[in-house]
Amino acid sequence: MIANSISLGHVLKHNDRFWIVTKKEHVKPGKGGAFIQVEMKDIITGSKSNNRFRSSENVEKAHVEDREFQYQYPEGENLALMDMESYETISLPKILVGEAVQFLQEGMDVKVTYCEETPIEIKLPETVILAINTTEAVVKGQTSSASYKPAILENGVRVMVPPFVTSENKIVVRTADGTYVERAK
């Protein structure tokens, strides 16, 4: 594909390594031709690189696909996942989930992103429903729209919730950043 078509999140093969595009800027200098300034992160090592491509230059886009798995149980620093098509169990490192690993629940459906048959990321559902273990008491005079109070969830994660949420509630939490969305229905 031509460099002008690069988008955030694309996986490129550059210098025999796989890179995910994290930033892209189209630059048109006063002199010379336009170019694309791209910040990329190496999928394997996590190192970052800034590259410039001429707008009409060809770049190689890697083949990326998502496969459905079900989370089974932890195995030390790895996670046991069952392929939903072949029912085989595989083991992948926890680091592929990132910060969202704290929201993994047994039996949860997840997507594993493969780049040229190498797993590069485990994606959790956008939100999860969790029970609240404890919440702090509401300070008198606070309004529901202006303040939040800390709550500890069943998995031990601390989130900020509105004052009307109590320890008897279950809430919906966004897995990407661990923020409160709403009370579970």
What's the CATH code of the domain at 98? 2.40.50.140
**Residue pLDDT, tens place only, 107-123:** 999 999 888 888 888 99
pLDDT of residue 86: 92
Same domain, 49 and 97: no
Cβ proximity of 93 and 144 under 8 Å? no
The string of DSSP letters for the chain reads -BGGG--TT-EEEETTEEEEEEEEEEE--SSS--EEEEEEEETTT--EEEEEEETT-B-EEPPEEEEEEEEEEEETTEEEEEETTT--EEEEEGGGTGGGGGG--TT-EEEEEEETTEEEEEEPPSEEEEEEEEEPPPPTT--TTT--EEEEETTS-EEEE-TT--TT-EEEEETTTTEEEEE--
> Two tokens at 79?
């996670």
Q: Mean pLDDT across the chain, nearest whole number?
A: 87
Same domain, 10 and 41: yes
pLDDT of residue 5: 84
- Residues of the chain scoring pLDDT < 50: none
Number of domains in the chain: 3
Q: 125 — phi, psi (to 5°)?
A: -60, 155
The residue out of 18, 33, 61 marking a domain boundary is: 61
pLDDT of residue 182: 92
Same domain, 133 and 106: no
Determine the structural domain holding residue 105 and report its residue range: 64-123
- CATH code of the domain containing 26: 2.30.30.30
Neighbours of 178 (CB within 10 A): 16
The residue out of 123, 141, 158 marking a domain boundary is: 123
Same domain, 29 and 52: yes
Same domain, 55 and 20: yes
pLDDT of residue 83: 92
Same domain, 53 and 82: no
Same domain, 135 and 115: no
pLDDT of residue 139: 64
